[in-house]
């Protein structure tokens, strides 16, 4: 009982703090002339810093979108209204790395002190399903389909939240996965932060009902809910003896994250290959759903364990041309409130640059059958690995299209521009990577899998990874 009382006391303090924080971040307004000044900084930053800003529309079209947004700002606006409008406008550039983020202090408040919709959801066939309610009480049955949230059709909510997520080209998969991951904060930006949320649902058994869910802060959720996969290592391997299959789960390809978690990537790969030889493994599955990371060398590292021929990730790299400064050639940077952004053309690295060189496969690379599993959150280094594995003919790809574009995508060193008035943080990527080889599908989409597969609602209801178990069953039958 003592622990329960302490938990309630902590929650009471959090609710009191959240009330003032919630009011401050949503009601403080910004004046039109200040927001229009910020939009001019956005305009110059994109035109002068972005390595590929006119891929999907010409400069004049982008200017027109920014001018149109500026023209609509005629009265003071709260920060959420401005950043949602800005995010929708920037989406036309077609770059998932060009992103407007809340000021640091506001983002921290939203993460910890503002009551949010405490739901984890899945998007399947354009429908929203409850994966977990984050109060820890399981008051909503997993796998329930959401019909309405606070009186708004779930399809309308999904469509509105998608527009807040930057994507490569016209890809939708990444947007849906980000909505799944960030539903509470995205919903707060677009629809506000009521103290409770009314949900109209259909349970897995077909029962239609209405539930009222109390809003919780991020800190309250952390106290009451423990994710089912908490504590799992970011890289792990499972052996399925009946199928003679090894399943590698690589949830990130970010070197810094792996180092923090104490994962030695090369040693891990060596151990998996050693186990595969000892256990006479016939099939290797590399699951990179949700995996990303800025260093494309990680894609090379992972692909080396299955490659049979020399390979490379990219065939060209472009970046902004340095400008002549007092100390010689200097890269172009943007500072908070900077007014002297200098134009520069994009240039390509020389053909003999080491990043464009071919890499040899491991001497003891795996020689059996390989499957790669990916989804819309497989981006950057993760997406580059998928492209390598598919285009080399070394693997069959299963799942959803990657979140990074199949022709080229931006990344590398990011310039963070803090808009002078609103303090919104604008991330502008510095490099454009053109991927080696040629993928199938539309040029404004991610790499397409050989087998297009998604999770099933019944799997959400039962907490079962239907993609994984369907693939394992297929491997067993083929063997």
pLDDT digits (tens, 9 = 90+) for 458-476: 999 999 999 999 999 999 9
Q: Is residue 288 domain-shared with residue 343, that is, in the same domain?
A: yes
340 pLDDT higher than 90: no
Terminal alpha carbon distance of the chain: 55
pLDDT at 333 over 70: no
Q: What is the pLDDT confidence band of residue 38, given thresholds at 50, 70 and 90?
A: very high
Residues found in the chain: 479
Same domain membership, residue 263 and residue 213: no
> Which pLDDT value is given to residue 159?
97
Q: Mean per-residue pLDDT for 188-195?
A: 94
Identify the pLDDT of residue 15. Answer: 43
Q: CA-CA distance, 152 to 128, in Å (whole number)?
A: 13
Q: What average pLDDT does range 70-84 have in this prediction? A: 95
Q: Is there a single domain that holds both residue 216 and residue 249?
A: no
Helix axes 173-191, 79-90, angle to 10 degrees: 160
Closest C-alpha among 344, 281, 295, 256 to residue 47: 344
Which residue range forms the structural domain that includes residue 130?
Answer: 115-224
For the cut 80, the answer to whether the pLDDT of residue 327 exceeds it is no
Predicted confidence band of residue 143 (pLDDT cuts 50, 70, 90): very high
What is the DSSP code (8-state) at residue 92?
Answer: G
Residue 317 and residue 441 in one domain: yes
Q: What is the pLDDT of residue 347?
A: 74
Q: Residue range 67-86: average pLDDT? A: 96
pLDDT of residue 326: 45
- In tens, the pLDDT along 304-324 reads 999 999 999 999 998 875 444
> Residues 160, 162, 166, CA angle at the centre, nearest 5°?
130
**pLDDT score for 223:** 84
| pLDDT > 60? residue 341 | no
> Poorest-confidence range of 270-274, 321-325, 443-447?
321-325
Residues 347-405: pLDDT tens digits?
Answer: 778 888 888 899 998 889 999 999 999 999 999 999 999 999 999 999 999 999 999 99
Cβ proximity of 261 and 233 under 8 Å: yes
> What DSSP designation does 322 have?
P
* Residue 53 shares a structural domain with residue 150: no
Question: Does the residue 101 lie in any domain?
Answer: no
Q: 148: helix, coil or strand? A: strand
Averaged pLDDT of the chain? 88
Q: In what order do the strands lie in the sheet with 235-240?
A: 235-240, 245-250, 283-287, 369-374, 396-399, 451-452
Does residue 427 contact residue 414 with C-beta atoms inside 8 Å? yes
> Do 362 and 291 belong to one domain?
yes
- Structure confidence at residue 18 (pLDDT): 43
Q: What is the pLDDT of residue 330?
A: 42
Count of domains for the chain: 3
Q: Higher model confidence: residue 146 or residue 338?
A: 146
SS3 content of the chain, % helix, strand, coil (to 5): 35, 25, 40
Same domain flag for 218 and 249 = no
Pairing between β-strand 99-101 and β-strand 77-78 as defined by DSSP bridges: unpaired
User: Token pair of 350, please?
Assistant: 């020389």
Looking at per-residue pLDDT, the higher value among 448 and 323 belongs to: 448
| CA proximity to 135, closest of 9, 17, 220 | 220
Domain end residue (candidates: 157, 190, 224): 224
Q: Is the pLDDT assigned to residue 94 strictly greater than 90? A: yes
Q: Are residues 273 and 366 in the same domain?
A: yes
**pLDDT band for position 337 (50/70/90)?**
very low
Query: Do residues 395 and 444 share a domain?
Result: yes
Residue 286 is given by DSSP the state E
Residue 189 has pLDDT above 60, yes or no: yes
Angle subtended by helix axes 79-90 and 32-49, to nearest 10: 30
pTM of the model as a whole: 0.89
CA distance 217 to 345: 46
In a domain, 103, yes or no: no
DSSP string, 333-347: ---TT--------EE
Residue of 139, 47, 142 lying closest to 334 (CA atoms): 47
- In tens, the pLDDT along 13-36 reads 344 444 444 556 677 899 999 999
Main-chain dihedrals φ then ψ at residue 14, nearest 5 degrees: -65, -40
The pLDDT of residue 23 is: 58
């Amino acid at each position: 009982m003592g622990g329960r009382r302490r938990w309630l006391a902590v929650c009471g303090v959090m609710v009191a703090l959240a009330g003032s924080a919630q009011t401050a971040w949503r009601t403080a307004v910004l004046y039109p002339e200040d927001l229009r000044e910020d939009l001019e900084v956005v305009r110059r930053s994109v035109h002068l810093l972005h390595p590929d800003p006119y891929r999907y529309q010409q400069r004049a079209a982008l200017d027109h979108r920014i001018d149109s947004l500026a023209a609509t700002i005629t009265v003071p606006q709260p920060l959420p209204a401005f950043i949602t409008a800005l995010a929708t406008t920037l989406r036309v550039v077609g770059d998932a790395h060009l992103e407007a983020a809340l000021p640091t202090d506001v983002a921290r408040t939203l993460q910890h002190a503002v009551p949010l919709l405490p739901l984890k959801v899945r998007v399947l066939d354009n429908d929203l399903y409850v994966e977990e309610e984050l109060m820890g009480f399981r008051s909503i049955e997993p796998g329930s389909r959401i019909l309405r949230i606070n009186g708004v059709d779930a399809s309308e909510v999904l469509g509105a939240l998608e527009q807040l997520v930057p994507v490569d080209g016209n890809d939708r998969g990444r947007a849906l996965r980000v909505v799944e991951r960030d539903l509470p904060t995205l919903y707060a930006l677009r629809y506000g932060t009521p103290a409770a949320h009314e949900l109209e649902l259909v349970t897995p058994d077909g029962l239609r009902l209405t539930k009222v869910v109390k809003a919780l802060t991020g800190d309250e959720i952390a106290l009451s809910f423990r994710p089912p996969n908490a504590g799992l290592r970011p890289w792990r391997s499972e052996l399925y003896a009946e199928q003679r299959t090894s399943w590698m789960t690589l949830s990130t390809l970010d070197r810094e994250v792996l180092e923090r978690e104490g994962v030695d990537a090369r040693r891990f790969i060596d151990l998996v290959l050693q186990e595969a030889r000892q256990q006479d493994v016939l099939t290797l599955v590399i699951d990179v759903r949700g995996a990303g990371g800025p260093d494309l060398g990680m894609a090379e590292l992972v692909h080396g364990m299955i490659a049979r021929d020399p390979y490379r990730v990219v065939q060209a790299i472009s970046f902004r041309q340095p400008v002549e400064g007092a100390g010689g050639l200097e890269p172009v940077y943007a500072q908070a409130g900077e007014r002297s952004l200098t134009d520069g053309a994009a240039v390509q690295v020389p053909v003999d640059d080491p990043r464009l060189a071919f890499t040899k496969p491991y001497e003891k690379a795996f020689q059996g059958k390989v499957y790669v599993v990916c989804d819309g959150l497989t981006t950057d280094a993760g997406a580059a690995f998928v492209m390598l594995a598919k285009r080399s003919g070394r693997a069959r790809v299963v799942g959803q299209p990657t979140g990074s574009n199949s022709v080229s995508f931006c990344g590398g060193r990011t310039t963070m521009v803090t808009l002078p008035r609103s303090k919104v943080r604008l991330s502008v990527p510095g490099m454009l990577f053109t991927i080696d080889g040629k993928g199938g599908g539309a040029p404004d989409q991610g790499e397409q899998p050989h087998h297009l597969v998604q999770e099933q609602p019944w799997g959400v209801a039962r907490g079962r990874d239907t993609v994984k178990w369907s693939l394992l069953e297929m491997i067993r039958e083929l063997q």
